[in-house]
Chains A and B, each alone.
Chain A
Amino acid sequence: MFRVGRSAAVAALAAAALALSACGGSSDDSNSGSGGGSAEGRTLTLWHYETGNSAMGTAWAQAIKDFEASHPGVKVKFEEKGFEQIQKTASMVLNSDEAPDIMEYNKGNATAGQLSKQGLLTDLSEEATKRGWDKLLSPSLQTTAKYDERGIMGSGKWFGVPNYGEYVMVYYNKDMFEKAGVKVPTSFDEFTAALDAFAKKGTTPIAMAGAEYPAQQLFYLLALNKANRAWIDSFELYKGKVDFHGPEFTYAAQTISDWVKKGYIGKDSAGMKAEDMGVAFIGGKYPIMVSGSWWFGRMQEEIKDFKWGSFLWPGQFAPGSSGNIWVVPEKSENKDLAYDFIDITMKKEIQNLLGNSGGVPVAADPTAITDAQNKELIENFNKLSTQDGLAFYPDWPAPGYYDVLVAGVQELINGSKKPEEVLDEIAQPYNDNLADIAE
């Protein structure tokens, strides 16, 4: 018995030692493999976190093919990453030798702005003018590409290049509209009349999710109906003071509260997640869903039992902006190749492919979009963009503001707090953050 025990222990130790040396070796191999920087046999390491069959995934896969075709001898090493991994580890990865040559990253002060402030991103200003990206992107799309020395978007140097846009719109169930005899509304009054018509018939018209982003985006949409561009610039880009008890937010808070009372929004939606909301709409349980263009591809794929469409929110503004951006890490060993790759993603062919796959391209040729639904989506975006209607997102101004807004709007839906109290609650973190920036 003793002998068995001993030999097992020795074997285990030997196995451990073997395995340890084996994996030490393999990691060395991978290091020397990816580190190539010489002219021959170069490798462009590229990371993004869009699924392969999404509009961006499809377009970028084609861009990689085009890039390899136009750069003989260069291999693209693409790695699909998880969104969370990039969010949590980006600053660590970019500060090490394992940084990719080019990657997709979230736009915004707390993400790309933060990294640019830490000096981890390459300044793309020169390339942007040289290659004409600054002409292809409209000014409101450029907002998320530029960051100043405090890491605040809207001005300063170029640190990213967006390929696609996104915006919040109204999805509607055509069959339910027809059955209830409701027409597609063209003004806000018609919109509320439509909601009222459904509510009177005992149908809750709006699919909503209070536990996640949709509710705060509706709240923001309502505020935007009373706002102008100067107010948005104040709120999002700190260009002026925002009065949380001003007409904009007061109207929004009051309206949400009223809509719950009138039955336009379900009271139980306070605890719903975005996924629940989407599944409920796709399942034909609600006639209306107010949410972003990121749902579009899924709607096309999964709605089989009824006809659906989308229209712009009745008002000048809607939450929206550029999509995520390409950034080039400061530690990238192949910056020239990274610029070439970005340039390819901005070309008409790739942009058209993005549009035809259900995405919102930023520089496509509208006549090249074949599908009627896709065309509608892109035309609505272009309309919003030309009427200077992209109003960004309500959670952008301060770190952690997303959760503040979720809690606030939930209380409005629950009716557990009065609108004025909620406004005080969401004003506090915003003003604290302003004070932090001023320091």
Chain B
Amino acid sequence: MTPDRTIRQPGRWAVLAALVVLAVVMLFPFVIVTLNAFKSPAEYSSGGPLSLPHGLYLDGIVAFWNRVDFGLKLWNSLLISGVVAVAAVVLSVLNAYALGIGKVRGRLWILVLFLVANTLPQEALVYPLYYLSKEVGLYDSKLAVILIFTVIQAAFGTYLLSSVLGQFPRGILEAAEIDGASRSRMLWRIVVPISRPTLSVLLIFFFIWTWNEFFLPMVFLIANDNQTVPVALGVLQGEKMMDATMSSASALLGIIPAVAFFLIFQRTLTRGVTVGAIK
């Protein structure tokens, strides 16, 4: 026991040190952003990005908020991400129920197809989606973005959930079947409640991923009234000029909602992506 401990102790310290270094590296950009968000442009230019701000300069944040009507952008992002997260989870559950538990013929190939669809770069999707949405009159509407991301996120969700549900304890399902439960009853009353931790994690991921999307929303949300937070942040990147302090202010405003969302739901997240066993 004693020699074992002496060997383990320095090892633990090394792990701790490595984690601290990693945490500092991860947090460093956020610190820089926060520092510069509260600096005036003149302060930034004379002191550089690493200097400490002299006092709190809030004009950058306020000016940015008003310039892009940030409240509206927040609402747009919230609406799009929220609807996508819920709809994509529902769609994933329905798909995965059929593929994972229902054992549809050729399900392996269907899953491979979903996986391949997942790896497609969004740039490749832009033109087909553009023409489709123009044909059905959805170009420049939030609905177009919601539909697109529901499908994109559900493709990943289906893939993940199918393999999770593939391991679903058969005993429970068989018991329900003997009790005479219909298939939809089994889905909503047994499978969904038991996989709820997994579904919550998916919901949170879908929300945050959709929130952070830039490219497709930029292409499909043309009117300023429809735009999301990341697209609004793009307004600050000029052709040759960038406004470093205002960009920092906007970046801070942009990440706060996602961080807040994460903090609220982090308990669900840490429960992990595993289905609860037989209770």
Contact = CB atoms under 8 A, between A and B. Distances in A.
Interface of B: 41-42, 44-49, 67-68, 79, 82-83, 86-87, 90, 130, 134, 138-143, 146, 188-189, 192-193, 196, 218-219, 222-226, 231, 234-244
A32 to B, nearest CB: 12
A24 B238 CA distance: 32
12 contacts: A5-B189, A9-B90, A15-B86, A16-B83, A23-B83, A27-B138, A82-B218, A84-B218, A85-B231, A106-B239, A302-B46, A303-B45
Given A23-B83, A23-B141, A302-B45, 13 more contacts: A6-B188, A12-B90, A13-B90, A30-B223, A80-B68, A80-B235, A83-B238, A85-B234, A92-B130, A279-B44, A282-B46, A295-B241, A298-B41
A302 B189 contact: no
A52 B226 CA distance: 21
A284 B192 CA distance: 64
Nearest to A10: B188
A175 interface: no
Interface string A1-37: 1100110010011011001100110110010001000
A88 interface: yes
A394 to B, nearest CB: 15
A79 interface: yes
A181 interface: no
Given A6-B188, A19-B83, A88-B219, A283 B239 contact: no
A307 interface: no
Contacts of B219: 88-89, 92
A20 B87 CA distance: 10
Interface in A267-325: 274-275, 278-279, 282-284, 292, 294-295, 298, 301-305, 324
Given A79-B224, A81-B235, A82-B237, A96 B139 contact: yes
Contact of A82 (B49, B142, B226, B231): B231
Contact of A98 (B45, B146, B189, B222): B222
Interface string A77-121: 001111111001100110011100000001000000000000000
A27 B242 contact: no
B278 to A, nearest CB: 15
B164 to A, nearest CB: 17
A79 B68 CA distance: 9
Contacts of A279: 44-45, 48-49, 244
Nearest to B219: A89
Given A79-B224, A82-B231, A96-B134, A275 B244 contact: yes
Of B46, B48, B241, chain A has the most CB atoms within 10 Å of the CB of B241
B226 A27 contact: yes
A83 B239 contact: yes
A400 to B, nearest CB: 16
A275 B243 CA distance: 9
Interface of A: 1-2, 5-6, 9, 12-13, 15-16, 19-20, 23-24, 26-27, 30, 34, 49-52, 79-85, 88-89, 92-93, 96-98, 106, 213, 274-275, 278-279, 282-284, 292, 294-295, 298, 301-305, 324
Contact of A213 (B68, B237, B240): B240
A98 B130 CA distance: 13
A34 B86 CA distance: 31
Given A80-B224, A302-B41, A302-B45, A85 B218 contact: yes
A24 B80 CA distance: 12
A6 B189 contact: yes
A302 B141 CA distance: 40
A96 B27 CA distance: 43
A93 B238 CA distance: 20
Nearest to A166: B240
A106 B223 CA distance: 20
A98 B241 contact: no
Nearest to A2: B189
Q: Which 6 A-B pairs have the closest CB atoms?
A: A27-B141, A82-B234, A5-B193, A282-B45, A82-B235, A23-B142
Contacts of B239: 49, 83, 106, 294, 324
A305 B189 contact: no
B231 to A, nearest CB: 7
Contacts of B41: 298, 301-302
Contacts of B42: 301-302, 304
Nearest to B239: A83
A194 B242 CA distance: 31
A186 B222 CA distance: 49
B44 A84 contact: no
Nearest to B214: A84
Contacts of A80: 67-68, 224, 235
Nearest to A92: B130
Given A16-B90, A294-B240, A98 B140 contact: yes
A84 B224 CA distance: 14
A255 B130 CA distance: 49
A52 B224 CA distance: 16
Contacts of B236: 82
A83 B142 CA distance: 21
B240 A12 contact: no
Nearest to A12: B86
B243 A89 contact: no
Given A16-B83, A96-B134, A2 B48 contact: no
Contacts of B225: 30
A23 B188 contact: no
Contact of B192 (A9, A81, A88, A301): A9
B226 A30 contact: yes
Nearest to B187: A9
A213 B240 CA distance: 9
Contact of A26 (B142, B189, B234, B243): B142
Given A279-B44, A282-B46, A16 B86 contact: yes
Contact of B237 (A6, A84, A89, A284): A84
